[in-house]
């Protein structure tokens, strides 16, 4: 989709300054810049700090927070000029951002004399309602928004991380396949011919999801269970356990195709829903009974928890160290990390961070989508 199409699709939707900036970040991502949820949040905070009245400050805030390479800077300048009706760096904008954003906030205006609505300076940059919903904290959603969020989970397509297989497969490049090359020469009575090549095949890597269902995580429980269900009904080899006052294996009930029935079945199988928190003990049971025997060995293990622990934080850190020793990669998902101003000061989080490969947010659909990419890249 082109930048112009993004702008036209957003033209008739909700118009607020925040959505104008979110729409710009979304279009920049469509142009090839890796704009993550964290970068987008930092961009909004930076613009809030410098103010919308200074177009040059907003321009440089985008370059500082959304870009990671010289190629990103080039794309940013092009998208900024097209999206906000401005020009490249070092020149005067055709339509100042301070005038564009209030106009987008108050609604569509009548075109001025001599101007048409198809003029670049008159196109209002807006984000879709779905895009706004994707970035809202799931604890702040209304009932209707939760229903829409459930439909968005149905569109989520997790991908399995890959691992090298022992078998070799034909390939246009790689290592020389001596046996196949010699057999082909024998069929040609010793005449030389094309060289056959081969490379190692790949197979999906197991994903293990460990979900904290204690009282402090209850506000995010429904969305996180839906995310686990999405993995269970995908092509990704997945195992799901819940952690509370005990460890519960809930893979089978979550394998039902209907998400609502799967969530009800999982809830009936979990005896300690919204109870206490004994993460260290639950992880120890998992490692002793399941993990070290092969389920976690070489797998990508994702732990959903805010880190609040009844036992000593050192015990939790030791169990995560054991988990990291057998797993291919450990990803810790903390819903509170997506909130502005969050600092990992809890004792449990500080104890596990040295043994975690990725520490990501888990508070919104955008964060869940980013998580699936982190897992797939592992």
Q: How far, in Å, CA of 169 to CA of 192, rounded? A: 22
Range of lowest pLDDT (1-5, 19-23, 257-261, 304-308): 1-5
CA nearest to 138, candidates 223, 217, 213, 218:
223
Q: Does position 108 have pLDDT exceeding 50, yes or no? A: no
- Output the six-digit token pair for 233: 């009904």
Task: Provide DSSP, 248-267.
Answer: EE-HHHHTSSSHHHHHHHHH
Phi, psi of 331, deg, nearest 5: -115, 125
Strand order through the sheet with 238-243? 247-249, 238-243, 207-212, 300-304, 329-334, 358-361
More confident call, 274 vs 302: 302
Confidence of residue 250 (pLDDT cuts 50, 70, 90): very high
Q: What is residue 276's predicted lDDT score, i.e. its pLDDT? A: 78
Average the pLDDT over each of 10-19, 290-299, 363-372 and give the range with the smallest value: 10-19
Model pLDDT, residue 363:
92
- pLDDT, averaged across the chain: 82
Give the DSSP H/E element, type plus range, for residue 18.
Answer: helix 17-30
pLDDT tier, 374 (very low <50, low <70, confident <90, very high otherwise): very high
Question: Which of 70-84, 183-197, 241-255, 280-294 holds the top average pLDDT?
Answer: 241-255
pLDDT in tens, 199-233: 888 899 999 999 999 988 989 989 999 999 999 99
Query: What is d(CA 28, CA 187) in angstroms, rounded to the nearest whole number?
Result: 56
Backbone angles phi, psi at 211, to 5 degrees: -110, 120
Residue 13, pLDDT > 80, answer: no
Is the per-residue pLDDT at 173 higher than 90? no
Strand 197-204 to 162-176 pairing: antiparallel
d(CA 269, CA 252): 10
For range 94-114, the mean pLDDT: 40
Antiparallel, parallel or unpaired: β 300-304 and 329-334: parallel
More confident of the two residues 292 and 319: 319
**For the whole model, what pTM was predicted?**
0.63
Q: What pLDDT is stored for residue 280 in this prediction?
A: 92
Residue 175 near residue 199 (C-beta atoms within 8 A): yes
Dihedral sign (CA 83, 85, 86, 88) = positive
Would you place residue 121 in the very low, low, confident or very high pLDDT band (cuts 50, 70, 90)?
Answer: very low
Task: Choose among 249, 324, 378, 159: nearest CA to 240.
Answer: 249
Q: Is 339 helix (H, G, I), strand (E, B) or coil?
A: coil
96 has pLDDT over 60: no
Is the pLDDT at 112 greater than 70? The verdict is no
pLDDT, mean of residues 109-130: 46
pLDDT at position 71, please?
81
Is the pLDDT at 34 greater than 80? The verdict is yes
Q: Which residue has the tokens 């819940």?
A: 242
Give the angle 192-194-200 at the CA atoms, nearest 5°. 130
How large a percentage of the chain has pLDDT more than 70? 84
- For 17-24, what is the mean pLDDT? 82
Residues 187, 173: contact at Cβ < 8 Å?
A: no
Structure tokens at 170: 């034909």
Question: What is the predicted pLDDT for the residue at 348?
Answer: 86
């Amino acid at each position: 989709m082109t930048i112009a199409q993004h702008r036209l699709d957003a033209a008739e939707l909700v118009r607020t300054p925040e959505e104008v900036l979110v729409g710009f970040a979304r279009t920049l991502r469509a142009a090839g810049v890796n704009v993550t949820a964290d970068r987008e949040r930092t961009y909004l905070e930076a613009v809030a700090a410098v103010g919308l009245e200074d177009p040059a400050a907003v321009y440089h805030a985008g370059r500082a927070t959304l870009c990671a390479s010289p190629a990103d800077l080039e794309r940013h300048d092009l998208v900024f000029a097209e999206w906000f009706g401005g020009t490249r760096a070092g020149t005067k904008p055709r339509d100042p951002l301070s005038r564009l954003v209030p106009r987008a906030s108050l609604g569509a205006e009548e075109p001025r004399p001599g101007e048409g609505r198809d003029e670049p300076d008159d196109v209002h940059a807006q984000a879709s309602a779905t895009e706004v919903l994707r970035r809202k904290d799931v604890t702040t959603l209304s009932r209707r928004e939760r229903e829409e969020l459930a439909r968005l989970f149905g569109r989520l397509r997790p991908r399995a991380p890959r691992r090298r297989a022992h078998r070799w497969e034909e390939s246009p490049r790689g290592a020389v396949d001596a046996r196949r090359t010699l057999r082909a020469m024998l069929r040609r009575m010793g005449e030389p011919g094309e060289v056959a090549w081969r490379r190692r095949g790949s197979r999906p890597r197991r994903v293990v999801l460990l979900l904290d269902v204690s009282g402090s995580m209850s506000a995010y429980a429904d969305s996180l269970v839906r995310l686990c269900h999405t993995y269970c009904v995908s092509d990704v080899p997945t195992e799901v356990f819940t952690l509370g006052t005990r460890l519960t294996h809930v893979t089978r009930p979550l394998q039902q195709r209907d998400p609502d029935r799967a969530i009800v079945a999982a809830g009936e199988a979990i005896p300690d829903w919204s109870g206490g928190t004994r993460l260290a003990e639950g992880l120890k049971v998992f490692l002793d009974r399941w993990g070290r025997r092969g389920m976690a060995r070489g797998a990508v293990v994702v732990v959903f928890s805010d880190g609040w622990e009844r036992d000593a934080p050192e015990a939790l850190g030791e169990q995560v160290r054991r988990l990291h020793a057998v797993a291919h990669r450990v990803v810790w998902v903390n819903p509170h990390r997506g909130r502005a101003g969050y600092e990992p000061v809890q004792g449990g989080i500080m104890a596990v961070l040295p043994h975690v490969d990725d520490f990501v947010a888990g508070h919104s659909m955008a964060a869940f989508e980013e998580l699936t990419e982190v897992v797939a890249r592992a």
